[in-house]
Structures are given as structure tokens and as C-alpha cells.
Amino acid sequence: MTSTEIAAVRPARTPRRSGPRSTLTRSSGLGLGIAMIWFSALVLIPLMAVVVTAIDGGWDVFWSTITNGQTAAAIRLTVFTALGVTAVNVVMGPLIAWVLVRDRFWGKSVLEVMIDIPFALPTIVAGLVLLSLYGTDSPIGVDIANQRPAVFLAFLFVTLPFVVRMVQPVLEELDRDVEEAAASLGASRVTTFRRIILPSLAPAIAAGAALSFARGVSEYGSLVLLSGNLPFKTEVTSVRILSSIENDNVAAAAAVATVLLVISLTVIVLLDVIQRRVAARG
């Protein structure tokens, strides 16, 4: 299938409007002001307070805190596990969404409900469920308690719905006539998916991946029972932060939180760049 044919079947992009931007009305400006005040009170000001607390003791204190052996091990475990889980969700999320949207089968409505269980279930209850199934008394003979796979499994459980629920509505809105036109022009299923479907799904996949990663690095309840919180082995940053606060070392907790904030923002920006390039190449 040639580039000309691909361009012919792809949906036309809405041209950008030229000219001066429209100004806010009085009511719109009031709404924007209220929204920014609310957002600042809930997000921006607390984040700034954490960063200020982290650097209040000076760079030397901050650096010694995050390079501490136990803290560094917890950061590495948390970040790399969250990245691995996000990579799995980027593959499995669109696949599950595709099955839910494009296929018809018995029990589909039940599966639709089950997908959202990690959203509704309290995380400590999720940890108890995982411990009952994959702990020392596992009914299926799989014991990963107090091991690193327990952290990975807990992250997978709580992040499962994000990519699925971000991709699913986009798939439902895709025009199948475009795919049929591409097939009639000789495009294979792989080419159709890569050049037509994937560019449309890329923003949703990237958004779901960002949410998945952010949820992973902040998770606590679902893994606290199964992982055992063993230093240098299964201890994650959320547990490390809690330990610092319990020891009345708020600066150390803020330092670790700041590192996680920077890492999360970096990953979100990288995912946004990747999805833009994928959409552009499509």
C-alpha cells in the first residue's frame, strides 16, 4: 500500500484556525480563576511545600538522604518495577480494550465489571487478596511472599485498568470504514494497525501509561502485606517515606518524595513526546 493510498484513507486532520485567540468572557474568567485557586490549594502549594521542605536543610543533606544505601535501593526497586509494569500495561491494555470493543462473547459484561475492581477495591484489601492467593498458604501452590515478584504483581494489580479505560473509548469512536478502505487498497492488518489505528490510539496509550507509572511509584497498600517490606529487597519508596515520618525525619521523607516527583514528571514528558512522534509518523 503506497503512501498516497494511506493518506487517502486516513481521516483528514482539522486545519488550524488562524487569527487572534478569543478572549475570555467575564464568567469564563471567573471560572478559570476559581479552578486555578482550587488546583493550587490542592496540588501546586502542597507540592511546593514538599520541595521546600526537602531542600530546606541544604544540598548536602538532600544528597546524603537520597544516596543512602537503603533509600537508593528502595528508589531503584520502585522506579524500575513501575517501568516494567507500565511496559506490560502498554501491551496488554490495548489488547484487552480491543477484545472488549471489537469482540462479542459470553461473559463480556462480567469482564467489563472485573476490569474496574482495582479502582474500587481498597488497596489494603487488594493486598490481603493477593496474600491469600500468592502467600505461604497459596491454594494454587504459588508462594512469592517477601520476594521481589510480589512487588511487581501488586503493581500490576492496581494499574491494570488505566490503559484499558483510556484506550477503550477511543477504539469505540474509530471509524471502521477507514480500516475497510485500507484493506480494499491492499493494506495488510499489520499495516492498517501501524499506520491508521495506532496513531489514533497513541495519545490514549501514553496517557494510560503515565497514570500507570504514577500509580505504581506511589503504591503502598496492595503490597505492604505480600512484600514484607524487607530493606534492600522488597522495600519500596512509599514504605521508606512512612518510616522516615515515623522516625520524625520529615526532611528525609520530603527528599524521597521530591525525587519521585521529578522522575514521574520526566516519564510523563517522555511519554508525551513518544506519542506525538508516533502520531506524526502514522
SS3 22: coil
d(CA 261, CA 54): 12
* Burial (CB count within 10 angstroms: exposed 0-12, middle 13-18, buried 19+), residue 63: exposed
Q: At what angle do helices 108-115 and 148-173 cross, to 10 degrees?
A: 120
* pLDDT, tens digit, 9 for 90 and up, residues 140-164: 888 888 888 999 999 999 998 999 9
Q: Measuring CA to CA, how many Å separate 264 from each of 4, 103, 113?
A: 40, 35, 29
pLDDT of residue 2: 52
d(CA 163, CA 92): 8
* pLDDT, tens digit, 9 for 90 and up, residues 37-88: 988 888 888 888 888 888 877 788 788 888 888 889 999 999 999 999 999 9
Quick one: pLDDT band at residue 14, thresholds 50, 70, 90?
very low
pLDDT of residue 1: 55
Q: Measuring CA to CA, how many Å separate 42 from each of 46, 47, 54, 95, 264?
A: 7, 9, 19, 35, 18
Cell 488546583: give the residue. Answer: 39
Helix ranges (DSSP H) in the chain: 3-9, 26-39, 45-55, 59-66, 69-102, 108-115, 117-120, 123-134, 148-173, 176-184, 189-192, 198-218, 221-227, 237-246, 250-281
Answer yes or no: is pLDDT of 257 > 70.
yes
pLDDT of residue 11: 52
**Are the beta carbons of 263 and 180 closer than 8 angstroms?**
no
pLDDT of residue 136: 84
* pLDDT, tens digit, 9 for 90 and up, residues 88-135: 999 999 999 988 888 888 888 888 888 888 888 888 888 888 888 888
